[in-house]
Structure 1
Amino acid sequence: MAEQAGKNSLWRTFHDKFVVEERFMEPAARKALYRTAVVLIGVGALLFIATLVGVLQSNTGPWGPDESIRDWLLSLRSETLTAVMIFLAVIFGPVALPIIVLVVTVVWGFVAKHAWRPIVLAAAMLTGVVTSQIILAIVQRSRPPVELMLFGADHTYSFPSGHVLGACDFLLVTTFLVFSRRKNPRSAVFGFVGAGIGVVLAALSRLYLGYHWLSDAMASVSLSLLILGAVIALDTWRTARIPGERITGELSKADAPGD
């Protein structure tokens, strides 16, 4: 009997982990989330299309302010700044960042009452990786000259920047998933400001070290805005309820008004 009870308890714990959380909010707040999602998707799509068209018209070479930004960053190079930029490139690189994402999602999944948000984060990161690889293969844009690269030669394609896209997705999506459940809007503002600083640093490191053009980073940021908008829309549709709507997640019933 005790063994059977233990098995039932484990199964219940596993089952409850995958009950999608639901939360109540005011109708105006939910509409604001949907509007934000639409704006992010629209801005991201327009910015990406504009960047892509410009890059293709330049025959995948430098476009717009690409060369002027590169020349400006070349004038700033120093041993200390290069060391800092290499550190940032490693943190947001294809080895360290996936490990960070894996640790965050696994730990978050075990600690949280519901696994919905870490699963959404993992799906968003995977979407960014797949999208980036598809676009890289289609556009086939060359990187800046190899002699300008400060951390080893890289002969792969550059549009969009996988480093920047990964950093944007991780920082922006994680910030939304964490602070969307907080009642204090000021904390969300601080969270997104911090995420924005991280995005800028990730992009600067790739440009400074000579691996990408500015337009590569712009394309990555625009794609990340698209993914963030999709995450906000999906999360709001699946978890946000207004008073009077039915709650379907068993573990969320205690959150209903008046309970």
Structure 2
Amino acid sequence: MLFTVTRASVRGGAHRPPGHVVARRTGPLAGTVGPMPAPSSLQSALAWYAHRPILRAVVPGIILLGLGLGLFGAMYDAVDERDDFSLLDQPVLEFLVAARSDLATSALAALTFVTGPTVLPIIVLVSCVVWGRVRREWWRPCCSPGR
């Protein structure tokens, strides 16, 4: 360890006031380096934020909501004016049509059928009943489809 941090004695001294924080070199260069710097305003703000769990839960959601709304507005504007991103629509569609295969089309058709409004609710119901029977508790399986 190259540094140790200590506080000066309570009565202070000729060169240091009481409570003065001092970093001392413990390696080959021994001696007092000077007072530790005061925490910056960013460190103080982060410490304040760290002790507020509600803010830590809400602020990221608000930031993501703002970013999502901004991206939605930009995309809506581009499609409405037929410029920017919407210019890529036709070339990407043509590429996907040219690159598709029968296997990929069949696989995605099956995926669409399974995750559709007819089959997926049946899968969820059966899995929740099995879960409830195995675990012998019903409140979690009953809450799960609502997620």
User: Please, what TM-score do these two structures have when normalized by structure 1?
Assistant: 0.28
Which of 1 and 2 has higher RCO (CA within 8 Å, sep 6+)? 1
Q: Which has the larger radius of gyration?
A: 2
User: Please, what TM-score do these two structures have when normalized by structure 2?
Assistant: 0.44
Q: Give the helix-richer structure, 1 or 2.
A: 1
